[in-house]
Chain A
Amino acid sequence: MGERGRGCCPPMDLMRSEPMQLVQLIIPIESAHLAVSYLGDLGLIQFKDLNAEKSPFQRTYAIQIKRCGEMARKLRFFRDQMSKAGLPPAARSVTQDTSLDDLEVKLGDLEAELVEINANGEKLQRSYNELAEYKLVLHKAGEFFHSALSSAEAHQREQASNQTGEESLETPLLSEQETAIDSSKQVRLGFITGLVPRDKSMAFERILFRATRGNVFLKQATVDEPVIDPASGEKVEKNVFAVFFSGERAKNKILKICEAFGANRYSFHEDLGKQAQMITEVSGRLSELKTTIDAGLVHRGNLLQTIGEQFEQWNFLVRKEKAIYHTLNMLSIDVTKKCLVAEGWSPVFATKQIQDALHRATQDSNSQVDAIFQVLHTREMPPTYFRTNKFTSAYQEIVDAYGVAKYQEANPGVFTIVTFPFLFAVMFGDWGHGICLLLATSYFIIREKKLSSQKLGDIMDMTFGGRYVIMLMSLFSIYTGLIYNEFFSVPFELFAPSAYVCRDPACRDATTVGLIKARDTYPFGVDPAWHGSRSELPFLNSLKMKMSILLGVAQMNLGIIMSYFNAQFFKNSVNTWFQFIPQMIFLNSLFGYLSVLIIIKWCTGSKADLYHVMIYMFLSPTDELGENQLFAGQKMTQVEQSVDGEILFSPYSILIISDETLVLLLLALVSVPWMLLPKPFILKMQHNRHQGESYAPLPDTEESLQSGANNDSHGHEEFEFSEVFVHQLIHTIEFVLGAVSNTASYLRLWALSLAHSELSTVFYEKVLLLAWGYNNVIILIVGIIIFIFATVGVLLVMETLSAFLHALRLHWVEFQNKFYEGDGYKFYPFTFTLLDNEEE
């Protein structure tokens, strides 16, 4: 980038962004990977994408990125498994250099092993669940048969006893014996046993009944505890059922119905002996399976543990490699010369470091050819880079939130470091609350190191990031609290006795006419006599409103002076003569004059009405002011024309006030066309002069590879006169109207400080003092608790946020629109430190 003037002042840190240069690196292919890795460690170069037209799949290193993506997927799988098993990954341990290929192989092996263990574990678990169900079926169905058998035996015994007892003439000859013999052959029932989910059991029964036309017998028994279903792995309440049927067709229907209802079937033997055998066998297998499953879990746990130790490191390595390959994809490849060409922005001060890094990469990769580093000249606007430390970075972020500074324009952040906490404090002024804020923020600052490595929530993160801002805010709040003389709204006589005393020893007139100022002015801050008096608000309102105007005019003047520094730096004399000077004249002839009047009124104690003075300055500037005069004229006629003789003579007379007013008004009126008209014409003349030079010197330094697209943006600058004129018109109107509205906007300093002190007074008088008045300990304690909650919730949290927001607005709008353009873009270097904070 071309040289810019230094202007009138020596360079100051943070005032202007770092000078940047467009560099071109030509790196041989064999050292490219290492070179990019070292440059990433350095973190001072922002690569431009030279392959923007290519799709991601056409780029050189697409395969490598796919590999990295695969490895990242495997790592995500491991992380899932670890979190399911409840093992958090350990913090990053000492780095061991593993190459990417080794890591790929290792990850593949580990994944295969883990998947296998998982599959086996699932199979075993399923078998275990099935066996558990089988055991239940054996148990419950056994009970059916047992009870049925015992009742059948009882019945048979009854019948037998009946039969043996009755051998009379009435016994039928054949039928009963036949039926008795045949009965054993007629029992040809089949049965099916199994488990059905309880919520489906009613429907199951009904459908079985209907499908077999009532020719089945279903017996169900509930299982007390929920059973783990083998198919789904969840606990379900089930019933054991036994259904008795006869015939093949019935059997098929029942089988199909069981399948439809998800009822698991298990085979069952009638024989008691076999039942007992099955039960023991199943129990044995269950315990075996349990031990196997436990062993499997332990093995898996160990595997996950080993993975967990190295996990963070592998994760970082994979992300780093992916970032390196993404960057390598941005470089353009020159196949014939077997090298890669990189272009990027870097700060001028980093030149040596970059060259060192390239040299080291060449050496480490045993390459024959060294990388080439050269600076390109271009007309593109460089990115903005401020070197901030942990203290100034928060302020810079506040400024950047509104707009990133254009390359090398004056940075409002410099003054924001002091004026932002100061304006906050003007709205917050209470030294008790300031001390509370200071304690809160010193907690953050003292435990800075520990908290910065932890992951805090969103709100805590923001508060922690702004800890230095809040610290300055609280220090200034303590100062302004001492000036407003408010400690949780209570004033103290800290510096000298109050200036006001009763008019007479009996103090009779104190509540009607008031006190009188007998002693010297209270030396530091607001006199404590004002608090709680009836005329407190008129006095404080007048004081705070005038203070807001004075502070506002001062800050706006500072803004206009910053625009002067910008004009000097960019050697733009048009802006100096036709923007800065008329703006200063306009603002100061109106509002600077008002500020001077305020100060003179305070110094002389005159009773002049400043509203009247200012308004009549516009309405009838040539009239005499009568009792609103502030300076005595040199002409005696001014004094003789006075009405009540309430004019106070000032020995420092300057001009007759009506003349003064007229002059200032004329100056203000002249400055408006001065801002509006000359600049567009001068710019047009300058443009015509440039166009007239048909021979421009050829650029003899190298141009960037991408400059072809950007050339016509400068070479054939279109100059639309109407556009420039309208732009200047808008700027002028904005400034002129803004002068009034911005000055009034500063009155929010008054409004918020009034709100804060009133809230504070209410909480103190209506909560604490009220509770104190009852002379009851419990009410006092309740009162204190309410007071603390109200103070913390409303005053310390809500008012802080509110004052923060308004101070921010005053800076962003009223201060910055006097000089700030803020249309730059931020410098995002290629660095690995950001990967730590990334979350996939």
Chain B
Amino acid sequence: MGFLVTTLIFVVVGVIACLCARICCNRGPSANLLHLTLIITATVCCWMMWAIVYLSQMNPLIVPILNETE
């Protein structure tokens, strides 16, 4: 689906999660900031992991060599 499109999907999911957290548990500005930080950290971590795996497969230097039995 392309790198940029999926990155945008991650961003959108992160924003939706922030909005959900704001709606469901709105407990004062400092607590909200904590929730926001946690959600952004989680989104960034997940995106980084996906992006690393995706980028490494975009222009591969080696290809799968199957085993003899298969």
Chain A neighbourhood of B1, CB < 8 A: 520, 523
Asked if B66 and A524 make an inter-chain contact with CB atoms under 8 angstroms apart, the answer reads: no
> Interface residue count for A (Cβ, 8 Å)?
56
Which A residues are in CB contact (< 8 Å) with B52?
543, 546-547, 550
Most-contacted residue by chain A among B33, B55, B61, B63 (CB, 10 A): B63
Looking at the complex, which one of B48, B62, B65 makes contact with A511 (CB distance below 8 Å)? Answer: B65
Q: A296: CB under 8 A from chain B?
A: no
A650 close to chain B: CB less than 8 A? no
* B55 surroundings in chain A (CB, below 8 A): 599, 602-603
B-contacting residues, A404-422, CB 8 Å:
414-415, 417-419, 422
Residues of A near B45 (CB, < 8 A) are 418-419, 422
B63 pairs with A551, CB closer than 8 A: no
For residue B41, give the distance in angstroms from its CB to the closest CB of chain A.
4
Total CB contacts across the A-B interface at under 8 A: 132
Residues of chain A contacted by B38 (CB below 8 angstroms): 414, 417-418
Whether, in the assembled complex, A96 has its beta carbon less than 8 Å from a beta carbon of chain B, the answer is no
| A1-47 interface (Cβ within 8 A of B) | 10-15
A794 to chain B, nearest CB (A): 25
CB distance from A539 to the nearest CB of B (A): 6
Beta-carbon nearest neighbor of B49 in chain A = A483
How does the 8 Å CB contact mask read for B33-56 relative to A, with 1 for contact and 0 for none? 110011001100110111011111
* Residues of chain A contacted by B62 (CB below 8 angstroms): 514, 535, 538-539
Please tell me if A536 contacts chain B, counting CB pairs below 8 Å: yes
Q: Are A546 and B67 in contact (CB under 8 A)?
A: no
Evaluate whether A603 and B58 lie within 8 angstroms (CB atoms) in the complex, with A524-B50, A547-B52 already known. yes
Alpha-carbon separation in the docked complex, A751 to B65 (Å): 23
- Contact of A499 (CB < 8 Å), options: B29, B50, B57, B70: B57
Query: Of A426, A517, A529, A532, which contacts B49 at CB under 8 A?
Result: A426
Contact of A517 among B34, B48, B63 (CB under 8 A): B63
Per the bound structure, the CA–CA distance linking A101 and B58 in Å amounts to 82
The answer to whether B49 and A511 touch across the interface, beta carbons within 8 angstroms, is: no
Q: Is residue A301 contacting chain B, with contact meaning CB distance below 8 A? A: no
Judged by a CB distance under 8 angstroms, whether A799 is at the interface is: no
A522 within 8 A of B: yes
Looking at the assembled complex, report how far the CB atom of A637 sits from the nearest CB atom of chain B, in whole angstroms.
Answer: 27
Q: Determine the chain B residues whose CB is within 8 A of the CB of A511 once the complex forms.
A: 65-68, 70
CB pair A415 B41 closer than 8 Å = yes
- Shortest Cβ gap from A483 to chain B (Å): 6
**25 examples of A-B residue contacts, CB within 8 angstroms:** A12-B34, A415-B37, A417-B38, A418-B41, A483-B53, A510-B66, A511-B66, A511-B67, A512-B65, A516-B63, A524-B6, A525-B50, A526-B53, A526-B57, A533-B66, A533-B67, A534-B65, A535-B62, A535-B64, A539-B62, A547-B52, A602-B58, A602-B59, A605-B60, A605-B61
Residues of B within 8 A of A (CB): 1, 6, 29-31, 33-34, 37-38, 41-42, 45-46, 48-50, 52-68, 70
Q: Which 10 A-B pairs have the closest CB atoms?
A: A605-B59, A514-B65, A533-B64, A514-B63, A13-B34, A602-B55, A418-B41, A12-B33, A13-B30, A510-B66
Given contacts A414-B37, A521-B57, A526-B53, 17 further A-B contacts (CB under 8 A): A13-B31, A13-B33, A422-B45, A426-B49, A480-B49, A483-B50, A514-B66, A520-B1, A521-B54, A523-B1, A534-B66, A535-B64, A539-B60, A542-B56, A543-B52, A602-B59, A603-B59
